[in-house]
Every structure is written in C-alpha cells, then in structure tokens.
Amino acid sequence: MIYKTFQRLSLSLALIGAFTLVQAQTGVGAKPEKGAKIYLDGTKKSLHKNWEYWQGPRFAAENPIKWPEVKDPVDGGKAISSNDPAGAGGKYGAADIVTKDKFEDFHAHVEFFIKNEGGNSGVYLQNRYEVQILDGDYGDHGLAALINEHIPTSEEYNGLGKWNAYDIVFKAARFENGKLVAKPRATVYFNGVKIHEDKEIQQVWGGPNSGLDGGNDGGKGITDTPGGLKLQAEGHDVFYRNIWIKKLDLDGKSTDF
C-alpha cells in the first residue's frame, strides 16, 4: 500500500512538474529555453547583429535598419519599434525585417507592445505565414489569427500599453522528391493561453509583397526553402523585445506543446 501510494504521489508530482515546465515557457517574461538563441533583447546592437531588411518586391528602405531603439514604456528598459519611415501608410514589405538565420521547425517566443489604437504589425513564420498583430480587430484577419485561416479560440490580449507574448511552435511543410506531401502546422500560445492547437496552414497570404512564395500560384505554391522569422513594418509604434528562437526537429511529431 505504501509503495502504491508512493507511485501515485510520484506520478502526480511528475505531471505537476510537466505542466509547470510548459507554462514557464510561455507568456510575457518567459526566459529562453535551453538551446535557444536570443535574437532581439530590445537593443539596437542585437537588432543589427541578428536581423536584416527583407528585400522583397516592394523594398524601399535604406540600410542600416531604421527601426528605432526606444525606452520601454513599462519598465524603462529598451525595446525596438517597428515604426520605420519607409513603411508609413501601411506599406508592408517596404521595411520589414527578418532574422539572418533561416529555419524549418522551431519554437519562437515574441514579446510585443502596441502603443496606439489600431497599431499594426505582424510575425511571419519562415517569412511566409503571418500571426497577426492588430489592435482593435478580432477575426480571421485580426489579432492573434493565423491570418485568413484560423481565429484564436479565446481573446487573450492584455491591451494597449501592456506587453503581450506569442509562443509559437512551427513545423515546416514537408516535401518528398520535390513534391509537397504535408502542409505547415503551428501551435500558438497568447499570453500563456493556447489559442491554436496544431493547425494546418494552407498558403501564403498577401501576395509577393508579403513574404516568400507569396507570388507563387497565388500563395499556394509553397517551396522547400527555409525562411527567417520576419517582423512587419506598417508605420505604427509596435515595440518588440525578448525574442528568442530554438530550432527543433518535428519529424513524425505534432506542434502541440
């Protein structure tokens, strides 16, 4: 009896520990997992070290990157604003930035702060598939949507003037002999709450100015090319900090975590 009680207690503690581990990996302030790399700590130094402009068809910015370093409105630290002058008026693709490193499967943690009503930006997985950032909108093109395809299962936005966090596990499309055999998938937590669970993504939206393969067969012509994590400039004060990414190998595995 004592042994069985000990077994049940050990199992309970293990389950609690596993739950705590998952929760510790999500939400504002989450620290990088073992093996992850910090790509943006809020400083201009990390911006220029790890990021570059995406020079797509609409590229209109000038190097070096003009995304300004700003004072964190919450704790007085440092953050990077997406308000590049070349992106004014919502001209996405003109001054978007992308990691120099390219990825297939990965876990990304991204913290963002929307300063003003209607603030607009976006996080692009593999420089293809957008997780929307848009204050005041909810729907398949709204905040936290896997754009044009999946609406979040709950509204977890902390609101204007507060930090928010996406935690995303992404699995790249799979190819065999050059042929697409499995579409990309993603699981997303928003401020520590799961809002998308292992969702299949059908295509790239927004045309050639939106990212890789956007101009291929109306965005349906996905290619077997790794891509970086991209952040969108649309002339708004959307700030970023604490962005880290860990490469994964999800062969035969779900994105759920």
- If you compute the radius of gyration of the chain from its CA atoms, what whole number of angstroms results? 19
| Separation between Cα atoms, residue 49 and residue 218, nearest integer Å | 33
pLDDT in tens, 43-55: 999 999 999 999 9
Contacts of 91 (CB under 8 A, 6+ apart): 58, 60, 234, 235
DSSP three-state, residue 130:
strand
Instruction: Print burial letters for 220-256: b (CB count within 10 Å at least 16), e (below 16).
Output: eebeeeebbbbbbbbbbbbbbbbbbbbebebeeeebe
Bridge partners (DSSP) of residue 105 are 248
Mean pLDDT taken over the chain: 92
> Which token pair is 74?
């919450």
Q: What pLDDT is stored for residue 25 in this prediction? A: 79
Cα–Cα–Cα angle for 232, 255, 105, rounded to 5 degrees: 60
What are the residues facing 170 on neighbouring strands? 106, 186
- Quick: pLDDT tens for 95-153: 999 999 999 999 999 999 999 999 999 999 999 999 999 999 899 999 999 999 999 99
Residue 206's nearest CA partner among 197, 214, 198, 216 is 214
Give the pLDDT confidence score for residue 54 in this predicted structure: 98
pLDDT below 70 — which residues of the chain? 1-24
Q: Which domains does the chain have, with CATH numbers?
A: 2-248 (2.60.120.560)
